Structure 1
Amino acid sequence: MELRIDQIKKKLHSKSYKLTPQREATLRVLLEHEKDHLSAEQIFLLVKDKEPEIGLATVYRTLELLSELKVVDKINFGDGVSRYDLRKEGVQHFHHHLVCLECGSVEEIIEDLLGDVEKIVAEKWGFEVRDHRLTFHGICRVCQQKAKNDEEE
């Protein structure tokens, strides 16, 4: 975790920002809950446990700054709630997600599945792709198995 914080600190410094205690507390929460896809409010409540004096507006500003610097990605899974996802160090593109419509679980796909699609878009439409996002909505393995077991009973 300390290595990742140091990398992000360097990124902030390269853009003339400091890693304030509030920003560091927010980063630590994001790192501790990397797979949870937390909302700003959830992040705020977790940060508040560590830094009781922090305000919601500070957390929002920190998340927006981290989003602008491409340290985190702001995502929405169609439920009207913005969530924040740490970008993996050194990756060129945002990763993809599988969202279960039954239980709400979110699984990440780290590998880039859209390289060929980007080439087609560039060639056919003359569009320079900088990033992309792909979210699949469906039923996860666990819910499929549960439904199958329920049918068999």
Structure 2
Amino acid sequence: MKIRFRRNRGGTGIPLVLTSPWQESLYAYNRIWSSLGAEASLISVDLPGFGQSESRSELMSPRTMGEFIPKMLTAFGLDRVHAIGPDVGTSALLFAAYARSDLFESLVVGSGATDAALTAGALKDLINAPSTIPFEENGEEIAIGAIEQVMRINPGQQVLDDY
């Protein structure tokens, strides 16, 4: 199975592994890559079935993804890491750390919360819609708009195409 990753062997100390938040990919870390890379060796990875990594149906649960992560770390030659896992990476890293606590120096997990009452525009319409059917025709436009707004910059066509 092909897993897309980006690696920087800079910095010193325990390496940092970053998993991508859904619907994004390893490009989610572009703006902080250089800063983090000056401090530690980095690996950013699109977990199986996300970003540009291949998928297997048997890996698409938090528990089995958690079983995959230690194997991935071994394949990278890593015996201890700091790991950051927003969104889909959260549960996978928690299962991995439960099974193999020896591999993890620290975990940063979780996802941001949104107060639906503070949303506006297409996001508010989507949250309050009784069905997502009206959005199926322009889902790509909604995703691109959300990414551009959240990042408050134009991430570049390559990144948008990747998402």
TM-score by length of 2: 0.28
Greater relative CO (CA pairs within 8 A, separation 6+): 2
Q: Which has the larger radius of gyration?
A: 1
